[in-house]
Amino acid sequence: MTTTTSGPEALLSHLHSADGSATFSYAGYTIIGAVNGPIEAQRRDELPEEAVVDVVVRPAAGVGGTRERHLEGLLQSTLRQIILVTHFPRSLIQITLQVTIAPENEYVSTKVVQANTTAVLTLMSAAIPLTATLTSVVIAATAEDGSTREIINPTAREIQMSRSLHVFAFTSHGDLILTQSEGEFTMKEWEDILASAQRHCCPSTSGDVSMGDDEASGANLGKFTRIRNDKKAHFEPPNLGVSNSSAVLAALASMGLNRGSPMHLEEG
Amino acid sequence: MPREAEPSQNEKDFILKAVQEGHRLDGRALDHFRQLDLKFGDQYGVADVTLGKTRILAKVTAEVTVPYTDRPFDGIFTITTELSPMASPAFEVNRPTETEVLLSRLLEKTVRRSNALDTESLCLVAGQKCWSVRVDLHVLSHDGNLIDAACLAVVAALRHFRKPDTSMEGETLTVYTPAEREPVPLSWLHSPFCITFSFFGAIQIGEDGEEKDIWLLDTTLLEEQLRVSSCTISMNKHGEICQVAKPGGAPVEAMTIVQCSSLALQKVKDLSDFVDRKLAEDSKHRNKGGLLAELSAENAR
C-alpha cells in the first residue's frame, strides 16, 4: 500500500551552533530541525512554572503564512506535552524547523508527520528531557464499493481521491496525543482507522529487555530496521524506563549517533 | 533572546597576538579560505554551500505575475534573507538584526544592482505578465563570513535554476511543464562574488615607523567578533568591481584597499572557476544519455 520509494533517512547533530539538530527525509520531504534550549525566555513570554516551547516552521520558498502558523500550533501543543517543561521554569525551548524539500502538492496533514519526527529527533539530539517519544502516521480512507479502504502514508494523488484524511500521533506509551481528521467519515470508521493507526505506530511493546543486553538491543535495532524498511514507519516507539530506551539508542546508533543522549528519557 | 557570547579577554588577547604574528587559530594563512563545498539539489535552483562550519542553502523559485506599473518591461527579481534561530540563538524570528540587514543589502547591491540577471528577459507580455524570480536564503549554520558564502550560494543557485519554457501565440501565453518542454536557464550576464576583508589594526614594520594594516580573509565567527572593521569588495572574474562596502569601523589606508581589490580579483577567479566546475559536473550528471541538447528548445543568441 505504501507508494513511497525510499525509506526514511535521518542525520543527527550536524549543525554546530544549535544545541541539537537533525535532518529527516521521508516521503518527498526533507526537514532540517534545530533546538536551542533551555535558554532565557523573553520577559513577556516566560511562564513562572514551566518552560515555554516555541516552534517556528519555515517553508523552503517564500515567507511562512497561515499554513505554517497552523502547523506550528499543532506541533507546539503536541511537543509541550512530551517535553518535561516543569523542569525548566521561566526558560525557553526554541525549535526551528526548516523545510528544504517539499513535494509539489503538499498537505499540512502529511507535513505534521515529518515535522513531528524531525522535532523529536532534534530534541533528542539536544538532550532535552522528554517523557516519551512520538510516532505519527497519516491514513487516508477511500470509499470502495460500499466498504472503506485505509491507505497508510498515502501519496498526494491518493489523498486527493480519498474521502477523509486522518493524522494520529502516539507516545511511546501507546497513548494517543494528536489527532487531526478532515473529510467525511462516521464515528465507526474513525475508530477503525484509529485502531489500525495504533497497530502501525505501536507494535506490541510488551517484551521487557534490560539496557545492557546486547542481544536485546540488537533485536531492537533489527526491529527498527525492519520497520524502517517495510512499513516506512519511524523508529520504534520505545516504552519508557530502562527497557526500551535501548531501542532509541539503537535507532540513534543506526543513524550514526551514539552519544548516549537518550538516557535522559528515563527521567520520565 | 540571548546575545552572542563574547569571547573572553584571554581569547581576545591570544587571537589578536597570533594574528599580529601571522597565525590563525585553525592554522590557515591569513589570506586562505576554509574548505569550500557546493552541492546542488535534485530540483533545479537549490544550492547548498558549506564554508568551514558555515552552511547556507539557497533556493530559487519562479512564478508568473504582473510587473510593477513603473517598470512594464522588467521582470521581478528578489532576494530574501532571513536569519533564523537555527543559525544562532541570538537571531530572533521577525526581528532583523544588523547582520541580516547588512547581508541582504550587500547581496542586493552585488547581484541585483550589478545586473547579473537580465530582468528584461523575464518580461513575457509588456505591462501584463512577467516572471517573478525569487531567491530564498536559509542560513543553517553561522560560523562567520556569511556574506561571501551567501553570495556564492545565490549566484550558484541562480545559475543552476531553470525556469519553465513559455511560448506566445497571439494573445495566449503557454507555460510548459518540464515534461512537455525542457526548462530553460535564466539569462545570466556575469557572476559577481563578494570577498570580505576583516581588518585587525596595524602593526609597525621597519625602523622608520611605517605601519601596515593587518587583514584576514574568510574569518570565523570568533575572528569576526574581534575585528576592528571590515570591507566587502564584489567583483566578477573580469575584474569589474560591482560595489565596495566598508560599513564603519576603524579607518584603513587607501593603499590597503587597492591591494585588497587586486587580491580579491584573484580570489574571485578561484571562486568563479569553482562554481563553473561544480555546475559542469552537475549538468554532466543530469545529462546522462546526452539527451538534454536535443530536448532544449532554447535559441542560440
Query: Using CA atoms, how far apart are residues B63 and A45, in angstroms rounded to an integer?
Result: 38
What residues of chain B lie within 8 A of the CB of A16, using their CB?
53, 141, 143
What residues of chain A lie within 8 A of the CB of B59, using their CB?
60-61, 100
Chain A interface, mutation test: which of B3, B43, B139, B140, most A Cβ atoms within 10 Å? B140
pLDDT above 80: residue A222 = no
CA distance B135 to chain A (A): 8
Instruction: Please tell me if residue A133 touches chain B, with a CB cutoff of 8 Å.
Output: no
Instruction: Please tell me if residue A36 touches chain B, with a CB cutoff of 8 Å.
Output: yes
Query: Using CA atoms, how far apart are residues B75 and B161, in angstroms rounded to an integer?
Result: 16
In terms of pLDDT, which residue wins out, B154 or A260? Answer: B154
Complex prediction ipTM: 0.85
What residues of chain A lie within 8 A of the CB of B87, using their CB?
17
C-alpha distances in Å from residue A144, one per residue of A147, A150, B47: 5, 10, 44
What residues of chain B lie within 8 A of the CB of A99, using their CB?
none
CA distance B182 to chain A (A): 18
Give the model's pLDDT for residue B210.
Answer: 81
Question: Which residues have CB under 8 Å from A158's CB, separation 6+?
Answer: A3, A140, A142, A151
Give the model's pLDDT for residue A5.
Answer: 52
Query: Using CA atoms, how far apart are residues A78 and B198, in angstroms rounded to an integer?
Result: 45
Tell me which residue in A36, A40, A61 faces B61 most closely, judged by beta carbons: A61
Instruction: Please tell me if residue A21 touches chain B, with a CB cutoff of 8 Å.
Output: yes
Averages of pLDDT over runs of 10 residues in chain B (301 residues) are 85 93 92 95 92 95 94 93 88 85 92 92 92 94 94 96 91 89 92 95 80 91 93 95 91 92 95 96 83 64 57
What residues of chain A lie within 8 A of the CB of B61, using their CB?
61-62
A188, exposed or middle or buried, with CB in 10 Å at 0-12, 13-18, 19+? exposed
Query: Using CA atoms, how far apart are residues B148 and B131, in angstroms rounded to an integer?
Result: 27
Give the model's pLDDT for residue B157.
Answer: 96
Each residue's pLDDT tens digit, A1-33: 334 456 788 888 889 889 999 999 887 889 999
What residues of chain B lie within 8 A of the CB of A56, using their CB?
84-85, 93
**HEC per residue, B114-156:** CCCECHHHHEEECCCEEEEEEEEEEEEECCCCHHHHHHHHHHH
CA distance B92 to chain A (A): 10
Query: Using CA atoms, how far apart are residues B2 and A19, in angstroms rounded to an integer?
Result: 13
pLDDT above 50: residue A248 = no
pLDDT above 50: residue A225 = no
- Reference A239, options A137, A147, A135, A154; nearest CA is A135
Are the Cβ atoms of B85 and A98 closer than 8 angstroms?
no
In terms of phi and psi (left: phi > 0; alpha: psi -120 to 50; beta: otherwise), the region of A180 is: beta
Are A10 and A83 within 8 A, CB to CB?
no
* Residue A250's pLDDT band (cuts 50, 70, 90): very low
In terms of pLDDT, which residue wins out, A211 or A43? Answer: A43
Cβ-based interface (< 8 Å): residues of B facing A: 1-2, 41-43, 46, 53, 55, 57, 59, 61, 80, 82, 84-89, 93, 134, 136, 138, 140-143
**Which percentage of chain A shows pLDDT scores above 70?**
72
Tell me which residue in A34, A36, A100 faces B57 most closely, judged by beta carbons: A100
What residues of chain A lie within 8 A of the CB of B85, using their CB?
18, 34, 36, 56, 94, 96
Does the pTM of the predicted model rise above 0.90? no
pLDDT above 80: residue A261 = no
Instruction: Determine how β-strand A91-101 pairs with β-strand A29-40.
Output: antiparallel
Please give the angle made by the CA atoms of A227, A233 and A234, to the nearest 5 degrees.
Answer: 100
Are the Cβ atoms of A60 and B53 closer than 8 angstroms?
no
Mean pLDDT (chain A, rounded): 75
The residue in chain A having the minimum alpha-carbon distance to the alpha carbon of residue B60 is: A61
Are the Cβ atoms of A17 and B142 closer than 8 angstroms?
yes
Chain A interface, mutation test: which of B37, B79, B86, B133, most A Cβ atoms within 10 Å? B86
What residues of chain A lie within 8 A of the CB of B84, using their CB?
34, 56, 58, 96, 98
Q: How many CA atoms lie within 13 A of B190 on its CB side?
A: 18
pLDDT above 80: residue A177 = yes
In terms of pLDDT, which residue wins out, A256 or B245? Answer: B245
Tell me which residue in B1, B87, B134 faces A61 most closely, judged by beta carbons: B134
Each residue's pLDDT tens digit, A91-128: 999 999 999 988 876 676 778 888 888 899 899 889 99
C-alpha distances in Å from residue B68, one per residue of B65, B75, B76, B80, B127: 9, 8, 8, 18, 8
